[in-house]
Structure 1
Amino acid sequence: MKNRFKNLMFLAVLAIAFTACDDSNDPVPAPVEPAVSYIVNYGGYTNDKSTITSFNKETATATNNVYELINGVPMTSNAQYALSYNGKVYLMGNNADQIFWVNDETFEQTENALTTDIVKPRFAVATGNYMYVSCWGGDVWMDASVSYIAKVNLTTHTVEKKIALPGGPEGLEIVNNKLYAALNYDDKVAVIDLGTEALTYIQLPAGNIPSYFEKDNSNNLYVVLGVAYGDATTQTGIGYINTTTNEVEATYALDGVSSMAYVNIMEPNDDFSKLYVMTSVMDANWNVRGSIAVFDVASKSFESTNLVDGVQGINGVDFYNDRVFCFISNGATAKGKAITYQTDGTVDIEFETGIAPFMLFTVED
């Protein structure tokens, strides 16, 4: 994924845990430095806010409510995405709309959130001293012209410029000083030259809406293809964009590619030889059930057998510690869970998370 990171020292949580349990004058044992990743739990849009779950790959144990344990207060927004960059973890929050950040070694938030010119943030990428945030800007489903890219100065933590971009930008990627933006309300990928801010478009197959990218080892892009609202096209899948020619070289059909997950619909393994792609459908009782398909990058084809099938509540997929993580949502008020699979589909471990888990990150190198 965009955030292929290093292991984070989880000292703060352990220190709090030891302090809370120790009522004597005995010395507190020195905490270890486990290999930790983090899971973002969206929460419920109209009630519970987001929480963070840590996962220690060495002990295969999870700790919930990490942000609250360290900062002493709960999160005040629903995190749509998390980006680790230059010593901080930036979280894109909606309801309330904001970007807030924590120190990547302590997970402490010591500065106020950025709220000015940030309306319905969705995703973020960064380069140099700037972060680019896709913002829907309001009711984009009613008026596609309200959306934009927020150019955030990471020294001042202010929106230096709003770059108008109609169509509801969702996932972003940067290649060769160009910003690629998947438009959630159009069958195009927008390309913005970060030097001149000139805007061009890559046309996708009619009716396919893009959502998120994965950048391969050659700096070309795989893009998730869904179905445009109100369009008769029903075929979904993934596409391959050559970033030298800015053309869609190929598309690969896959029924049921999810449009219901927030971020992690598609995730590569560590050497980018496989792509794990989430599919899902909603049944007559409004239950989401889905699978994880496997795309072989060398043969440019989906394997005949899915990694897993029939997962109820599937809400995201990730790859970490040589395992495929599948995130499960049990609704907007109940705790979710994560299930990890070996690459042959064998169930590895299962653990509880916060409400509606959807993505995993560690801290960047």
Structure 2
Amino acid sequence: MKKSISKYVFLLLFVSVFTVSCTSDDRDDIVQETPISGAYNNGLFILNEGGFGSSNASITFLDNDDQVYNSIFSGVNNRDLGDVAQSIGFNEDNAYVVVNNSSTIEIVNRNTFESIATTTSMIVNPRFIEFSDSKGFITNWGDPNDVSDDYVAVLNLTTNQVETKIPVAEGPEKLVIHNGKLYVAHQGGYGYGNSVTVIDVETQAVVTSIEVADVPSGIIVANGSLYVLCSGKAPFTNDETVAKLFKINTATDTVEASLTFPSEIHPSFLELDNNNLYYTIAGDVYVVSIIDFQLPTTPIFQTSNNGLESLYGFKVNNGSIYIADAKDYDSNGEVFIYDSTGILQQQFSVEIIPNSFYINN
């Protein structure tokens, strides 16, 4: 799989996923609850990507009564989700689960989790999905041995089939849609990207490319501006570069301002909540006001005291901060939920390699 070596502070080039055994023999015991059916409309989905090559990706659900249900996709549909679940996108009543190494999009009803369709045609190493009207836009890395075949697939949401492909630069990752334009961050795939492609949603044509710093790992629209967090190249590359946070004018698609992190500091993730941008450095959580737009000197809190081992997923919503711990990338992971001041509210086990959170309400 063409897995990015720059993802989330690079996480040891994901080496641990490739070198450890991917069997379930050494997994910590967790209680398997009977998955509920037809009651997923209020709660939190945790996507567990699973071990590479093991086809043990899964989805956990936390309901509003704090009950945890594991393996809900397989529990409802009586089949496995696939190999390396990358992300989920919501559009109306449907959830679109992007399964990277299986090169599939699993489409389910977001409230019952019953399968609607599985899309495989013209999908190769998919990463993330966003929606506009009757279309879904999916970033694809293509063949990992070909740096020129990366693209954005255009999914017809009525037929659940890909209609066309939009060629883009190598390593397209996260994407956002704003004012009729699709912004695609190029983290770089096996290499190191430093650009954001701008695509006209209606014509599906590339309009321009915005140069940013190395490894753009987070992209957010807030108050009409585009914010791009670039992690920079890590020390192990022998070509370490500085990290930056960009503010981009979406009317002109030009850089309006940027903040440079100290050398040897490589932030990850980018989340928006109440006019604040949140990111992480190792196990610490930081916040930048989009009003002042200045880098903080200290984190709002640290997670090391709570036993977090490997921060692999991060989300902020309505003052709650969600952190996924991948542990050793072979055992079951763990989820930590904090309030906005860093006080731990909940902590519970999930399944292998939790990587992201999705609130359904």
TM-score computed with the length of structure 1 as normaliser: 0.80
Query: Are 2:28 and 1:42 equivalent residues in the alignment?
Result: no
Matching residue of 1:239: 246
| Percent identity over paired residues | 27
Matching residue of 1:176: 179
Query: Are 2:128 and 1:126 equivalent residues in the alignment?
Result: no
Q: Is the 8 A contact 2:312 2:323 kept in 1?
A: yes
Query: Are 2:147 and 1:147 equivalent residues in the alignment?
Result: no
| CA drift at 1:53 | 0.9
Q: Is the 8 A contact 1:48 1:333 kept in 2?
A: no
Change (3 A) 1:34 1:84: closer
Matching residue of 1:223: 228
Provide the C-alpha distance between the structure 2 equivalents of 1:168 and 1:323, rounded to a whole number of angstroms: 31
Matching residue of 2:346: 349
| CA drift at 1:41 | 0.8
Provide the C-alpha distance between the structure 1 equivalents of 2:295 and 2:62, rounded to a whole number of angstroms: 30
| Corresponding letter in the other structure for 2:153 | A
Matching residue of 2:309: 312
Residue 138 of structure 1, aligned match among 138, 143, 148: 143
Provide the C-alpha distance between the structure 1 equivalents of 2:300 and 2:346, rounded to a whole number of angstroms: 15
1:192-271 equivalence runs, <5 A: 192-196=199-203, 197-205=205-213, 208-216=214-222, 218-227=223-232, 232-254=239-261, 255-258=265-268, 265-269=269-273, 271=274
Provide the C-alpha distance between the structure 2 equivalents of 1:170 and 1:161, rounded to a whole number of angstroms: 18
**Structure 1 counterpart SS, 2:115:** coil
Residue 60 of structure 1, aligned match among 63, 66, 69: 66
Provide the C-alpha distance between the structure 2 equivalents of 1:137 and 1:14, rounded to a whole number of angstroms: 36
Change (3 A) 1:34 1:203: closer
1:92-107 equivalence runs, <5 A: 92-107=98-113
Provide the C-alpha distance between the structure 1 equivalents of 2:180 and 2:35, rounded to a whole number of angstroms: 38
| CA drift at 1:143 | 3.4
Q: Deviations over 1:308-363 (max 9, x none)?
A: 33442111211235311111001332110111111111111101111111111123
1:98-117 equivalence runs, <5 A: 98-111=104-117, 113-117=118-122
Change (3 A) 1:178 1:231: farther
Provide the C-alpha distance between the structure 2 equivalents of 1:195 and 1:250, rounded to a whole number of angstroms: 29
Change (3 A) 1:302 1:106: same
Residue 162 of structure 1, aligned match among 159, 165, 175: 165
Matching residue of 1:7: none
Provide the C-alpha distance between the structure 2 equivalents of 1:173 and 1:313, rounded to a whole number of angstroms: 27
Structure 1's consecutive aligned runs of 4 or more residues displaced over 6 angstroms after TM superposition are: none
| Corresponding pairs, count | 314
Greater radius of gyration (CA):
1
Change (3 A) 1:116 1:231: farther
Unmatched 5+ stretches in structure 1: 1-11, 17-31, 259-264, 281-289
Alpha-carbon RMSD across the aligned residues, in angstroms, is 2.2
TM-score computed with the length of structure 2 as normaliser: 0.81
Provide the C-alpha distance between the structure 2 equivalents of 1:198 and 1:68, rounded to a whole number of angstroms: 38
